[in-house]
Structure 1
Amino acid sequence: MSAPGDAYREPLDRARLHAQAWLDAVPERHVGPAVDVNRLVPQFARALPEGPSAAGAVVDELAALSEPGLMAMQSGRFFGWVIGGTLPVALAADWLVSAWDQNAGMRFATPATAAIEEAAGGWLLQLLGLPHGSDVGFTTGATMASFVGLTAGRQHLLQRAGWDLDRDGLFGAPRVRVLVGAQRHDVIDLALRYLGLGAPEVVPADAEGRMLPDALAEALDAHPGPSLVCLQAGNLHSGAFDPIGTATAIAHDRDAWVHVDGAFGLWAAVSPRWAEHLEGLAHADSWATDAHKTLNVPYDCGVAIVARPEASRAALGLHTSYLISDDHGPGDPFEKVPELSRRARGIPVWAALRSLGRSGVVELVEGLADAALALADGISAIPHAEVLNDVVFTQVCISFGSDERTRRVTQLLIDDGTAWMSGSQWRDRAVLRISVSNWATDDDDVRRSVDAVARAAARVPHP
């Protein structure tokens, strides 16, 4: 028989109480974890009990043991990496996804989840100004979203070159060159490793990390043949955008496939203030972004968009006697991502978009950029602090003079716990890197974070 509903009541009630207690504490708690993983492992790895334990008690134990090792990533004062919070409606939708427990791979088997994801995909194409009819798939993150786009590009280029990749594999195939900007995100290299395409060829970029179009043309002309060009919407450090329209035209003139890695920066396309930085975006062939990073849905939720569905479905699809496939129309969800069995990640996206509406998405994106600019302005007023990036979207890089002083200020800030910002290396300098991606960050969070940086800087004498 089916599991009785009452069996879930106590553990779910306990989980809800612990979840609410955590969320209530986030706004004022120390942002960083209180203990490290080496302290926690022995507590979780005690001898496995010989017999069963009550479900509610297990949930209580899990919450109690975990709490000191949790990072308050939902905090309005967490600016490490690009990790947003979670919109309340998206969190609630994600709870329903877990409760419904659908294997959302086929339209036939799970029509509700497929319909929701198709609707969310259509809304995303409208918001981002991307071609109607593109395939939209929901992946485990932006890395796998780029993997999808690059997989489709590899399939398309080799098929056009007369090579049957499915039958003959990569050995002996025409070489597919991959060209990237000098400051691309390293996950592109990781996706290429998965695809067996090897290390990319690096095209020079300017000081903000923007690929130089003339250098791209020169590199493509030097070795004609099947080529993938990876452009970037949102540099990890500066937030700058490659000249997407110009670079895409150069690449297409030479029959190259263009993929845009827009893990967080693709969302700038929804904003009238920022869309000009992505002029020509719709002319690319594939795009990757992350709904967690900027739209603030729960982990994990990448978005893969491919303008040529036949290429991605040929590379990722599977047809067998036991799968009831949809041969016509928008395709099955499993044909758009590298997973036959899959979680319905698009449902929280639908809920977030339905709740925000177009104007709410614009307000969210512009609010993140405004908070980043306010942080940059506030911190730049601190003696000997210097903002290194020219244009602030949602990323800010700060130097406090010498590399050693910058690293010490960063560590003191983390120890203080009022705000959390990560250290990095950019332009051969140590930097304090700020990433604003949380819908909940407000003016008070900005003020308190600037004050925390000022306190840390005051404790480190300037040479």
Structure 2
Amino acid sequence: MDNPYVAALEVAHRQALHWVGSLDTRAVPPQATTAEIAEALGAELPEQPSPPEDVVTLLAEAGEQGLTAMPAGRFFGFVIGGTHPAAMAADWLVSAWDQNSALRDVTPAHTAVEDITATWLLDLLGLPPESAVGFVTGGTMANFTGLATGRDAVLRSVGWDVVQHGLAGGPRVRVLVGAERHDTVDLALRYLGLGAPEPVAVDDQGRLTPGALAAALETGGGAPTLVVLQAGNVHSGAFDPFEEAVDIAHRHGAWVHVDGAFGLWAAAAAARRHLMVGCESADSWATDAHKTLNVPYDSGLAIVRDPAALQASMGAEGAYLLRDATCQPLDKVPELSRRGRALPVWAVLRSLGRSGVADLVERLCDHASTFARELGRMPGVEVLNDVVFTQVCASFGSDERTQEVVQRLLADGTTWMTGSTWHGRRVLRISVSNWSTTEDDVARSLDAVRRVVADLERPARSHPR
């Protein structure tokens, strides 16, 4: 009997190579609508089975025109990386091996990789070597895991056992956040039953103000408190003043969590490491390896200084689970069933090495600086942020004109840059996150901006007042 996997995997391999081979030349936006893709796939569930290879062929051929070229070097729309080749190949193995990586002795191959990868990550990110690393689905769940551990810890510190008693009837947990935190922090707090946080004033780059944090903590009356800091503002790329803020928070007995979805990787590059000074003194950290490290999706990292606290919040028991007293992978994450998330992270770290990770971070930052410099030379364009990492925000004058530039860039198709609103102004936001972005990609994207601006000027010049 023929192996039923071979034909389907051969089709997937061929179609995947076709897709990645097209990224340099294809338009970045999708070329078909949802309705068109649905029609090509067929809306009715078939009555009879189909060969797996036929199903994969249909999916690839019908779906390709409805894909955004997010892995391309000219996609700057969101803070998402492309997948490094070593990580992509390792991720294929994760699916082929089909392991539930929850228990150490059941999947020793994954456990060994997870242990090694955790050690490398803590070293690269400059975090305490005794910390525990949980491999979760993404940045949102990384924040959830760190904040859940902090919630339980600060409640224990005032004599309330949330594991036994839940939140009802217990002390209210205060959560202080910078006014420009990412929305996923609020989302995680909602999941945790903590409600809306208390915003703390920030400066013009979105950095939390230590004096405002100190004043807010003074009014707490000793309530159990979480303080959330940020490594990488989603608009400016700015980093909170960790050294001062962590010290203030700890003097008031607060648990400090750092949302470093893309910015935590600044610690891996010598020229950016100063942005992270003091961050290592926090209690928990969250990042997403899919962003700056360019690992496939489903690659969040939840890091907690106190492994026992993490296990107390996330650990699961079951008579059928083959486990002992040793901390298990499942004790560090919210899920029990989970794929081998550590393998792609290990693969890209093993492929790049220490210097390669540093070069990757610096290259992304250099591209962002090039965007800011060249945009700033264009008439009528204002770069609104200090470019310290990978984010650039530019205004083209009025909000209406800026939005028109955004829309015309998308119609042009050469590049994808997202419109946003920052400090009450519409902006073109550029997020440089892809390992494959080249100087040529940056130049082509800048030419597209110049072309759009020139086209926008043409009607006004042809009808002088």
Give the TM-score range, shorter chain: over 0.9
How far residue 49 of structure 1 moved from its aligned partner, in angstroms, is 1.4
Return the alpha-carbon distance in structure 2 between the equivalents of residues 165 and 118 of structure 1.
29
The residue correspondences of 1:28-427 to structure 2 (distance < 5 A) are 28-224=25-221, 225-328=223-326, 331-427=327-423
Return the alpha-carbon distance in structure 2 between the equivalents of residues 436 and 390 of structure 1.
15
Give CA-to-partner distance per residue, 1:151-186, whole Å, 9 cap, x none: 000110111111111111100111110000010001
Return the alpha-carbon distance in structure 2 between the equivalents of residues 5 and 90 of structure 1.
30
The residue correspondences of 1:1-12 to structure 2 (distance < 5 A) are 6-12=3-9
Return the alpha-carbon distance in structure 2 between the equivalents of residues 444 and 171 of structure 1.
57
- For the 8 Å contact 1:116–1:347, the answer to whether it is kept is yes
Give CA-to-partner distance per residue, 1:353-379, whole Å, 9 cap, x none: 011110000000000000111111122
How far residue 461 of structure 1 moved from its aligned partner, in angstroms, is 3.3
How far residue 45 of structure 1 moved from its aligned partner, in angstroms, is 4.5
Tell me which amino acid in the other structure corresponds to 1:109.
V
Question: SS where residue 108 of structure 1 aligns?
Answer: coil
Tell me which amino acid in the other structure corresponds to 1:273.
A
Question: SS where residue 75 of structure 2 aligns?
Answer: coil
Tell me which amino acid in the other structure corresponds to 1:14.
V
Question: SS where residue 155 of structure 1 aligns?
Answer: helix
How far residue 278 of structure 1 moved from its aligned partner, in angstroms, is 1.1
Mark the runs of 5 or more structure 1 residues left unpaired by the alignment: none
How far residue 346 of structure 1 moved from its aligned partner, in angstroms, is 1.0
Return the alpha-carbon distance in structure 2 between the equivalents of residues 256 and 5 of structure 1.
61
Range with bigger deviation, 37-46 or 129-138: 37-46
Return the alpha-carbon distance in structure 1 between the equivalents of residues 270 and 431 of structure 2.
21
Question: SS where residue 83 of structure 2 aligns?
Answer: coil
Return the alpha-carbon distance in structure 1 between the equivalents of residues 169 and 41 of structure 2.
50
Residue of structure 2 in register with 1:450 after alignment: 446
- For the 8 Å contact 1:155–1:312, the answer to whether it is kept is no
- For the 8 Å contact 1:33–1:71, the answer to whether it is kept is yes
Tell me which amino acid in the other structure corresponds to 2:57.
D
Tell me which amino acid in the other structure corresponds to 1:327.
A
Return the alpha-carbon distance in structure 2 between the equivalents of residues 14 and 326 of structure 1.
43
Question: SS where residue 76 of structure 2 aligns?
Answer: coil
Range with bigger deviation, 314-323 or 142-151: 314-323
Question: SS where residue 40 of structure 2 aligns?
Answer: helix
Return the alpha-carbon distance in structure 1 between the equivalents of residues 210 and 34 of structure 2.
45
Question: SS where residue 150 of structure 1 aligns?
Answer: helix
- For the 8 Å contact 2:28–2:72, the answer to whether it is kept is yes
Return the alpha-carbon distance in structure 2 between the equivalents of residues 205 and 133 of structure 1.
32
Range with bigger deviation, 267-276 or 43-52: 43-52
- For the 8 Å contact 2:368–2:387, the answer to whether it is kept is no
Return the alpha-carbon distance in structure 1 between the equivalents of residues 8 and 233 of structure 2.
43
Give CA-to-partner distance per residue, 1:42-84, whole Å, 9 cap, x none: 3334221111111111111010110110010111110011111
Return the alpha-carbon distance in structure 2 between the equivalents of residues 38 and 162 of structure 1.
56
Number of equivalenced pairs:
458
Tell me which amino acid in the other structure corresponds to 2:115.
E
Question: SS where residue 456 of structure 2 aligns?
Answer: coil
Give CA-to-partner distance per residue, 1:410-433, whole Å, 9 cap, x none: 110011010100000001000000
Question: SS where residue 166 of structure 1 aligns?
Answer: helix
Question: SS where residue 428 of structure 2 aligns?
Answer: strand
- Aligned-pair Cα RMSD in Å: 1.2
For normalisation by structure 1, the TM-score amounts to 0.97
Range with bigger deviation, 143-152 or 310-319: 310-319
Question: SS where residue 416 of structure 2 aligns?
Answer: coil
Question: SS where residue 400 of structure 2 aligns?
Answer: helix
Return the alpha-carbon distance in structure 2 between the equivalents of residues 15 and 259 of structure 1.
41
- For the 8 Å contact 1:108–1:326, the answer to whether it is kept is no
The residue correspondences of 1:18-37 to structure 2 (distance < 5 A) are 18-37=15-34
- Percent same amino acid among aligned pairs? 57
Tell me which amino acid in the other structure corresponds to 1:63.
A
Return the alpha-carbon distance in structure 1 between the equivalents of residues 413 and 435 of structure 2.
20
For normalisation by structure 2, the TM-score amounts to 0.97
Return the alpha-carbon distance in structure 2 between the equivalents of residues 391 and 182 of structure 1.
20
- For the 8 Å contact 2:372–2:387, the answer to whether it is kept is no
- For the 8 Å contact 2:80–2:434, the answer to whether it is kept is yes
- For the 8 Å contact 1:234–1:263, the answer to whether it is kept is yes
Return the alpha-carbon distance in structure 2 between the equivalents of residues 360 and 412 of structure 1.
36
Question: SS where residue 143 of structure 2 aligns?
Answer: helix
Tell me which amino acid in the other structure corresponds to 1:143.
T
How far residue 5 of structure 1 moved from its aligned partner, in angstroms, is 7.2
**Distance change >3 Å, CA 5–CA 367, structure 1 → 2:** farther
Mark the runs of 5 or more structure 2 residues left unpaired by the alignment: 461-465
Return the alpha-carbon distance in structure 1 between the equivalents of residues 22 and 388 of structure 2.
31
- For the 8 Å contact 1:238–1:391, the answer to whether it is kept is yes
How far residue 41 of structure 1 moved from its aligned partner, in angstroms, is 2.7
Return the alpha-carbon distance in structure 2 between the equivalents of residues 283 and 246 of structure 1.
10
Return the alpha-carbon distance in structure 2 between the equivalents of residues 110 and 426 of structure 1.
46
Return the alpha-carbon distance in structure 2 between the equivalents of residues 84 and 444 of structure 1.
18
